[in-house]
């Protein structure tokens, strides 16, 4: 079944709505979506009744944001209000699309991820077809996610229905089934006792990892742009000037190792004109061997020791900070908890950021986490980072990639 999409827009933005429809037409022809707006009303229809029917049944609702949308009482107070109510109840996915620049700080949809991905209005792009292509790509991802959720619910419903529809065994077999069940239960209990005894014996080892790994499906990180840096971090032969401070930043065993054993966090960065980036996406794979926290730094100025650092804790917490390593001064820009982080020592996780202008998007294992906004640093080097937890700490970093815009 195609995913129903409802378009909420201001009348003044109808030409841009028509452009968006053109870009979404391939998805309609593939039978993936149906698209509805009030331009699809037929003569003689009760427009408000039909509009609310679609508003209440759509699986994805697009809010086409502009100054006229924000000024429209009907769009803002009726359509958007109902859309966000359904979104809060988990009935629909609401996607704001920034058509024209407007002050939307404090708006009811401010917590939602906007399209285009950098929340840059369509009219601000040099090529608006590229902007609508970016929007279409985001909508296509949302459609695929909704289809997966719908399929999962249908499968669960069918399985549950089949379970309840299964005929009960005849009464004459009841005692025989009871004896079989009792025998199987005895075997299971005996097996669990053996397993518990084995675990108790193994727990006498001195070094025990008490972290409980989380099963995570890694998603492919596709930030767009042009792949500019592709460094496996086996050595310093690529010419990006990675720090090789003895005892802290070293290439060995096919990876870039960062260690610290004093009461300071430690950051190992590039130092090359080739590695100074402004608008880009940066991803690296990290494996913590000892310690608790590690991550990446970007838009980093080597002389001033300032920039941004995004790091993860083995308990699943993430933090984005504005840092100055010459002073104790740090300013937290974002903090939260994520289930996408694979916990436990020796586990490899992919950490990524997407920085365009003042907007910074955070990713863990290819999954978007959240956005933050700060305009203090506009460009700089990249690096990797360890937080000193009070004891010797070491992490391995591999496969650094940079996409530029």
Q: Which domain holds residue 41?
A: 3-148
Cβ neighbours for 117, distance < 8 A, ≥ 6 positions apart = 134, 138, 224, 354, 361
pLDDT of residue 392: 81
Instruction: Select from 88, 116, 148 the last residue of a domain.
Output: 148
Tell me: pLDDT of 10 over 60: yes
Residue with tokens 């838009």: 299
Give domain status of residue 356, yes or no.
yes
C-alpha span between 202 and 143 (Å, rounded): 48
Q: Into how many domains does the chain fold?
A: 2
161-198 pLDDT per residue, tens:
444 344 434 433 444 555 555 566 666 655 555 444 44
High-pLDDT (> 70) share of the chain, %: 80
pLDDT of residue 153: 46
What average pLDDT score do residues 368-374 get?
90
pLDDT of residue 295: 93
Most confident of 34-38, 171-175, 243-247: 34-38
Instruction: Select from 148, 178, 197 the last residue of a domain.
Output: 148
pLDDT band at 67 (very low <50, low <70, confident <90, very high): very high
Give domain status of residue 156, yes or no.
no
Instruction: Select from 91, 116, 148 the last residue of a domain.
Output: 148
What average pLDDT score do residues 188-215 get?
43
C-alpha span between 22 and 38 (Å, rounded): 16
pLDDT band at 155 (very low <50, low <70, confident <90, very high): very low
Q: Is 241 left (phi over 0), alpha (psi -120 to 50) or beta?
A: left
Higher pLDDT, 6 or 145: 6
Same domain, 232 and 379: yes
Neighbours of 258 (CB within 10 A): 26
Give domain status of residue 219, yes or no.
no
Higher pLDDT, 257 or 343: 257
Give domain status of residue 125, yes or no.
yes
The enclosing domain of 75 has a CATH number of 3.40.50.10140
| DSSP notation for 152-171 | HHHHHHHHHHHHHHSPPPPG
Same domain, 272 and 386: yes
Residue 83 is encoded by which pair of tokens?
Answer: 């859309």
Give domain status of residue 184, yes or no.
no
Give domain status of residue 195, yes or no.
no
C-alpha span between 84 and 173 (Å, rounded): 54
The reported pTM is 0.48
307-321 pLDDT per residue, tens:
999 999 888 889 999
């Amino acid at each position: 079944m195609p995913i129903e999409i409802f378009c909420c827009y201001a009348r003044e933005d109808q030409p841009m709505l028509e452009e968006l429809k053109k870009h979404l037409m391939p998805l309609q022809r593939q039978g993936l979506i149906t698209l509805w707006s009030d331009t699809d009303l037929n003569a003689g229809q009760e427009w408000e009744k039909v509009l609310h029917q679609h508003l209440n049944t759509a699986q994805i609702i697009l809010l086409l944001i502009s100054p006229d949308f924000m000024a429209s009482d009907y769009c803002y107070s009726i359509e958007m209000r109902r859309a966000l109510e359904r979104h809060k109840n988990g009935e629909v996915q609401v996607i704001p699309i920034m058509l024209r620049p407007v002050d939307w700080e404090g708006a009811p949809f401010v917590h939602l991820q906007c399209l285009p991905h950098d929340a840059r209005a369509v009219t601000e792009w040099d090529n608006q077809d590229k902007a609508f292509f970016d929007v279409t790509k985001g909508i296509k991802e949302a459609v695929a996610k909704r289809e997966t959720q719908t399929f999962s619910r249908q499968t669960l419903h069918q399985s549950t229905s089949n379970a309840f529809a299964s005929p009960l065994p005849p009464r004459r077999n009841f005692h025989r089934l009871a004896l079989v069940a009792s025998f199987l239960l005895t075997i299971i209990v005996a097996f669990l006792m053996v397993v518990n005894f084995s675990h108790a014996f193994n727990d006498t080892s001195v070094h025990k990892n008490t972290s409980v790994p989380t099963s995570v499906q890694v998603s492919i990180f596709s930030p767009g742009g042009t792949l500019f840096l592709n460094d496996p971090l086996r050595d310093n032969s690529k010419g990006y000037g990675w720090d090789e401070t003895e005892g802290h930043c070293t290439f060995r065993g096919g990876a870039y190792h960062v260690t610290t054993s004093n009461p300071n966090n430690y950051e190992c960065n590039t130092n090359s004109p080739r590695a100074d980036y402004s608008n880009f996406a940066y991803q690296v794979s990290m494996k913590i061997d000892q310690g608790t926290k590690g991550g990446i730094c970007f838009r980093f100025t080597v002389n001033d020791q300032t920039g941004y650092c995004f790091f993860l804790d083995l308990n699943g917490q993430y933090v984005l900070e504005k840092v100055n390593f010459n002073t104790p001064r740090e300013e937290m820009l974002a903090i939260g908890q994520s289930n996408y982080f694979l916990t436990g020592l020796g586990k490899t996780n992919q950490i990524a950021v997407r920085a365009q202008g003042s907007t910074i998007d955070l990713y863990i294992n290819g999954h978007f986490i959240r956005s933050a906004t700060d305009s203090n640093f506009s460009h700089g080097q990249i690096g990797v980072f360890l937080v000193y937890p009070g004891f010797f700490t070491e992490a391995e970093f591999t496969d650094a990639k940079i996409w530029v815009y």
